[in-house]
């Protein structure tokens, strides 16, 4: 095992001097043909013989206690095998980053909470039967509106402690220019296209779960704990996952209920949540209220910066949206306050949705920065440049790498920012008002423990294996590129095996830590293989050149099969965070630029073009990295203009729990989008030198749209999303 704890900056020799030229190249996803041909196996496909189908029965009230369940009408239906509601292992909700839900309780924490599972010979019968189960309850008054609940400052939820540095109040009082602004964001759903689905079966006391899950190593542990099993009695499979966005980082209650049903019936069980039920059984992003206060000198130097918010959680979960997470190291200012307070609601659990904290915190901060720029008479880009810190303004640590100024400059140049009309509402094209806006982007970098095995076969091909998942991000491809670059092999000569908890434990897909961690582990395994090849060539590893399946050293070139002589070389690599992440401040950075057109008569908003420039360390694959960033930018558009889950304050129902009414961006909403990179390999981040990509694109994207709308119309909206009723009263006359 080649194990590297990141106690110092480090770059594997094979990545520093690789000659194959595949790492970073815009290579199409190697699993693409399997997906488009329908041969890729997802969670709900290829069930074992005799599989039953499951449906979940939910609580009919948002708060109270279950007093009885009458399953007689359901059990009477032909094709119903069982209705299960009295097993103490049944959980009330899904697991999240802070722990698992309660089990074995009659307490109701939210409407739709699972209280029974029906299994039948086909899906339609199961769902029909579930609708016939009568749940008797003792209802209690429910807490459903954030504004009506007490705010808790003294709580222990979440992972982001409050920060109070300097004398904020005095700096605000003394400053010649200040802003004190309030913003709100609504509930957001993760809204992955593939349903939350699982197929489970027992064999010889071992449970196999083929599921749509982002982090299967943690899932294995959670499932085993919930069912009272040893972890070696659980196998989790997730070779292909159709999107997750944080909603599949934990184990949903339907997985545990299906496993119980499979055990009790002695048959495999399939479960797939209908879209409307997903809203209640999968965590969502909390609605928030946010207050941003900034003090500055007349020339734009920030002296005080506060970002305080309120987020919600129920009584059954431990996560709390870290609202100011992306704000902490973004701008200078010696006096600082950041905190997230809590309100308790009787709604489904809130949890980590793509870019927790940054996705919505940047709405407030980046809009506030534009409002400050206007009061100062400064260009928004210039204000941000003035307040670029030399070191992390909270911790005082040096940045591992930070190319944010270059992102501003390159983005402004490519976008044509100098042509922007600084007067709101001044540029028109017929009945359309044209505006330009921008915003900064930041996502903290994380490395987690990860292992990978690389096997260089006797025929000169390679196999890389770990329990990583590919949730549509290109994991198969970047691992093949990493191994190909290290061992001098074309992509076609590298096989990638993922999505099986029996493989070496890796990072999983979430938090933008998966790619860098998994590729780093694979690179470390390749280092050991290179050492073995060097020994066979009577050379030092640094003297080897590997390309196109040949090893060259000292003027001698040997094909890999000839060097291996019928014996494969197998190696493992392991990476883990260390002192380097404590010594340096690490993040990915970027800048968004947006052009919008707003109809002066109807208030319709069209995003016409969008450009982003990003600093993400090493770019592992230019195409898949750009795709991830574009996906985040599109989501930013949707957050700015349409995404809003609405709660009925009388019942705890979501009014719009499906894609018919919860409006994600569709093709017609997506403009011309460009992505460019300012690349600097970050040797402090991990041995691969790559930082997070997947969550960076959404950070700041919505704020750039909002700022462009203001530039187009002169209407400043602080409650998101921007709706017609918010714009129409303030639109300038034609």
Going through 74-217 in order, the beta strands assigned E by DSSP cover: 80-84, 107-108, 114-120, 134-139, 163-165, 177-185, 197-203, 206-211
- Sheet order of strands, 450-456 included: 2-6, 569-577, 450-456, 462-465, 494-497
Residues 441 and 612: beta-carbon distance below 8 Å:
yes
The DSSP code for 99 is B
Residues 342 and 307: beta-carbon distance below 8 Å:
no
Cα(48)–Cα(357) distance, integer angstroms: 41
Cα(293)–Cα(299) distance, integer angstroms: 17
Nearest residue to 514 (alpha-carbon basis) of 474, 487, 455: 474
Radius of gyration (C-alpha) of the chain in whole angstroms? 27
Burial of residue 505, with CB atoms counted within 10 A of its CB: 0-12 exposed, 13-18 middle, 19 or more buried:
buried
Assigned token pair, 338 = 């950041």
Residues 676 and 410: beta-carbon distance below 8 Å:
yes
Nearest residue to 335 (alpha-carbon basis) of 159, 174, 153: 174
Distance (Å) of CA 317 to CA 99, 283, 321, 416, 702: 7, 10, 12, 47, 28
Residues 249 and 256: beta-carbon distance below 8 Å:
no
Distance (Å) of CA 361 to CA 69, 182, 387, 718: 43, 12, 18, 12
Length of the chain: 734
Grouping H, G, I as helix, E, B as strand and the rest as coil, residue 431 is coil
Count CA atoms within 13 Å of residue 155 on its CB side.
23
> How would DSSP label each residue in 32-80?
HHHHHHT-S--TTSSPPTT-EEEEEEE-SSSSEEEEEEE-HHHHTSTTE
Going through 90-157 in order, the beta strands assigned E by DSSP cover: 107-108, 114-120, 134-139
Grouping H, G, I as helix, E, B as strand and the rest as coil, residue 438 is strand
Locate tokens 């307040």: which residue? Answer: 387
Grouping H, G, I as helix, E, B as strand and the rest as coil, residue 703 is helix
Residues 598 and 555: beta-carbon distance below 8 Å:
no
Nearest residue to 678 (alpha-carbon basis) of 621, 625, 618: 618
**Residues with a known catalytic role:** 695
The DSSP code for 100 is P
Three-state SS string over 273-334 comes to CCHHHHHHHCCEECCEEEEEEEEECCCCCEEEEEEEEEEEECCCCCCCCCCCCCCCCCCCCC
Residues 367 and 560: beta-carbon distance below 8 Å:
no
Sign of CA dihedral 37, 42, 45, 50: positive
- Sheet order of strands, 163-165 included: 163-165, 335-344, 302-313, 288-296, 177-185
Q: Are strands 569-577 and 450-456 parallel, antiparallel or unpaired?
A: antiparallel
Cα(433)–Cα(430) distance, integer angstroms: 8
Q: Could you give phi then psi for residue 448, rounded to 5 degrees?
A: -120, 165
């Amino acid at each position: 095992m080649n194990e590297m704890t990141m106690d110092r900056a480090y770059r594997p020799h094979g990545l520093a001097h690789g000659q194959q030229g595949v790492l970073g190249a815009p290579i199409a996803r190697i699993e693409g043909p399997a997906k488009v041909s329908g041969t890729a196996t997802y969670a709900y496909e290829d069930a074992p013989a005799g599989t039953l189908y499951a449906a979940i029965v939910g609580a009919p009230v948002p708060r109270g206690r279950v007093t009885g369940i009458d399953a007689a009408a359901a059990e009477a239906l032909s094709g119903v095998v069982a209705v299960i509601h009295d097993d103490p292992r049944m959980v009330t909700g899904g697991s999240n980053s802070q722990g698992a839900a309660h089990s074995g309780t009659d307490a109701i924490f939210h409407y739709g909470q699972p209280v029974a599972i029906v299994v039948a010979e086909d899906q339609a019968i199961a769902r029909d039967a579930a609708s016939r189960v009568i749940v008797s309850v003792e209802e209690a008054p429910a807490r459903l509106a954030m504004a009506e609940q007490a705010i808790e400052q003294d709580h222990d939820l979440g992972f982001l402690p409050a920060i109070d540095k300097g004398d904020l109040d005095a700096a605000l009082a003394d400053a010649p220019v200040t802003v004190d602004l309030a913003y709100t964001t609504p509930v957001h759903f993760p809204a992955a296209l593939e349903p939350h689905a699982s197929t489970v079966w027992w064999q010889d006391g071992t449970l196999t779960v083929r599921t749509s899950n982002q982090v299967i190593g943690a899932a294995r542990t959670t499932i085993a704990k919930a069912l009272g099993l040893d972890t070696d009695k659980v196998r989790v499979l997730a070779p292909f996952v159709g999107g997750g966005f944080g909603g599949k980082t934990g184990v949903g209650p339907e997985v545990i209920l299906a496993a119980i049903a499979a055990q009790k019936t002695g048959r495999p069980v399939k479960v797939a949540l209908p879209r409307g039920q997903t809203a209640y059984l999968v965590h969502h992003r909390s609605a928030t209220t946010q207050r941003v206060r900034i003090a500055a000198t007349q020339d734009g130097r920030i002296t005080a910066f506060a970002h305080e918010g309120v987020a919600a959680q129920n009584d059954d979960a431990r996560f709390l949206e870290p609202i100011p997470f992306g704000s902490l190291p973004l701008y200078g200012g010696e006096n600082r306050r950041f905190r997230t307070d809590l309100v308790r609601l009787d709604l489904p659990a809130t949890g980590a949705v793509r870019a927790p904290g940054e996705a919505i915190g940047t709405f407030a901060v980046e809009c506030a920065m534009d409002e400050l720029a206007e009061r100062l008479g400064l260009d928004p880009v210039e204000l941000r440049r003035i307040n670029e810190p030399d070191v992390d303004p909270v911790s005082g640590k040096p940045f591992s790498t930070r190319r944010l100024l270059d992102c501003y400059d390159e983005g402004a140049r490519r976008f044509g920012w100098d042509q922007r009309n600084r007067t709101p509402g001044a540029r028109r094209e017929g009945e359309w008002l044209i505006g330009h806006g921008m915003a900064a982007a930041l996502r903290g970098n994380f490395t987690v423990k990860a292992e990978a095995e690389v096997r260089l076969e006797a025929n000169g091909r390679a196999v890389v294996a770990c329990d990583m998942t590919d949730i549509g991000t290109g994991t198969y491809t970047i691992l093949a590129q990493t191994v190909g670059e290290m061992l001098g092999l074309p992509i076609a000569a590298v096989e990638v095996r993922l999505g099986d908890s029996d493989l070496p434990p890796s990072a999983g897909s979430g938090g933008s830590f998966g790619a860098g961690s998994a590729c780093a582990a694979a690179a470390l395994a390749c280092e050991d293989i290179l050492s073995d090849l060097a020994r066979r060539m009577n050379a030092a590893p640094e003297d080897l050149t590997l390309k196109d399946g040949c090893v060259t050293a000292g003027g001698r070139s040997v094909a890999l099969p000839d060097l291996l002589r019928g014996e494969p070389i197998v190696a493992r690599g392991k990476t883990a965070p260390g002192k380097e992440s404590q010594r340096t401040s690490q993040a990915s950075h970027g800048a968004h630029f947006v052009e919008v057109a707003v109809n002066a008569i109807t208030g319709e908003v069209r995003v016409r073009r969008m450009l982003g420039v990003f600093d993400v360390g090493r770019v592992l694959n230019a195409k898949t990295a750009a795709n991830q960033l574009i996906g985040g930018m599109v989501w930013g558009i949707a957050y700015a203009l349409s995404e809003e889950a609405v709660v009925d304050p009388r019942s705890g129902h979501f009014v719009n729990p499906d894609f018919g009414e919860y409006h994600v961006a569709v093709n017609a909403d997506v403009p011309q989008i460009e992505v460019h990179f300012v690349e600097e390999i970050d040797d402090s981040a991990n041995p691969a030198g790559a930082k997070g990509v997947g969550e960076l694109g959404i950070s700041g994207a919505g704020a750039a749209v909002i700022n462009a709308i203001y530039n187009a119309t002169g209407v400043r909206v602080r409650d998101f999303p921007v709706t017609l009723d918010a714009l129409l009263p303030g639109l300038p006359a034609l």
